[in-house]
Amino acid sequence: MKPEIKKRKRWDAIFALCGMVAMMIGVLTFVALFVDMALDGFGRLSWDFFTNYPSRRPGQAGILSAWVGSTLVMVVTAFFAVPLGVAAGVYLEEYAAKNWVTDVIEINITNLAGVPSIVYGLLALGLFVYQFGFGQSILSAGLTLALLILPVVIVATREAIRSIPQAIREGSYALGATQWQTVRYHILPYSSAGILTGVIIGMARAIGETAPIITIGALTFIAFLPPPPVTSEPPFISFEWLMSPFTVMPIQMFNWTSRPEAAFHANAAAAGFVLVFMTLAMNGLAIWLRYRLRRNIKW
């Protein structure tokens, strides 16, 4: 009996070892890349790097227009992707009849998440930039990325809603609630943690997207900021910035890496470090929010 068990258990050890090697290949590659980038770029990280415009002199070049551009584009993306994605997700889960049409829509949304981002860029170039006349603006970029992450938001919304027990819905309906009241007081509040997580993970993907932004014609070198949203004259709020040309972090990086001078490569590494940090910070925020919002929800 005993040697037989030993023989069988040998495969446990073999598989555990293979699994560990596979995991390490992934983890170590990322760590090596990140550390290498941090070492190359860390020397360039300073206050000036964040407050300077790009420059012909690598020592004075900064990422001001890039991080402001990325932030503004993300604001537009979230503004459009969240309401559209959540409404579509709620509709599909709570309202839509369960028939083959819904099934087809479902499969298509899942597939949309796998469409290459450059295809979204081409679509946006034709639709937003030319057809709607938004030009090569922050608005066009925000809408493009909103389209790109829409499937992610829809799928996250649906999964969050599906995890709500049917007993909660029945409890609400049994008290005479309408469908909208059930959605408003139960479905949305209880799924908000999952929805937010999905939104932030989608945004973390969008902030690193380069191809669709280049396709719609973001500038690679830009030495001014969009007009401020707050003005000194009534009505004090301006939306001119939406139509402003812009650049974003990954494009700034791309621009610097394609320069021949090594000093610009250090700038690219520093910008990459900042971009990775932004992405990790967003993921961290997602984890924290999920923990905070779920604390008060138990079934």
Residue numbers at the binding site for other proteins (CB under 8 A): 97-98, 165, 167-178, 181, 185-186, 190, 296-299
Least CB distance from residue 171 to other proteins, whole Å? 5
3-state secondary structure of 217: coil
Candidates 120, 115, 112; CA nearest to 142 is 120
Sign, CA dihedral 24-27-31-37, equals positive
The residues that bridge with 230 in the sheet, in sequence order, are: 237
C-beta of 82: minimal distance to other proteins in Å? Answer: 23
Cα 262 from Cα 259, distance rounded (Å): 8
Give the residue with the Cβ less far from other proteins, 79 or 173. 173
In this structure, what DSSP letter does residue 226 have?
Answer: P
Using the minimum distance from each CB to other proteins, give the nearer residue, 205 or 290: 290
Give min distance, CB of 173 to other proteins, in A: 6
CB of 99 to other proteins, least distance (A): 9
- Rounded Cα distance, 209 and 250, in Å: 7
Half-sphere exposure of 198 (CA within 13 A, CB side): 25
Beta strands in 160-232 (DSSP E): none
Between 21 and 167, name the residue whose CB sits nearer to other proteins.
167
Closest CB to other proteins among residues 167, 262: 167
Do 139 and 76 touch, CB atoms closer than 8 A?
A: yes
Kindly state the smallest distance separating residue 287's Cβ from other proteins, in Å: 21
Q: Say which residue the tokens 């479905």 belong to.
A: 187
Shortest Cβ distance from residue 42 to other proteins (Å)? 46
Among residues 123 and 177, whose Cβ is nearest to other proteins?
177
Identify which of residues 144 and 192 has a Cβ nearer to other proteins in the complex: 192
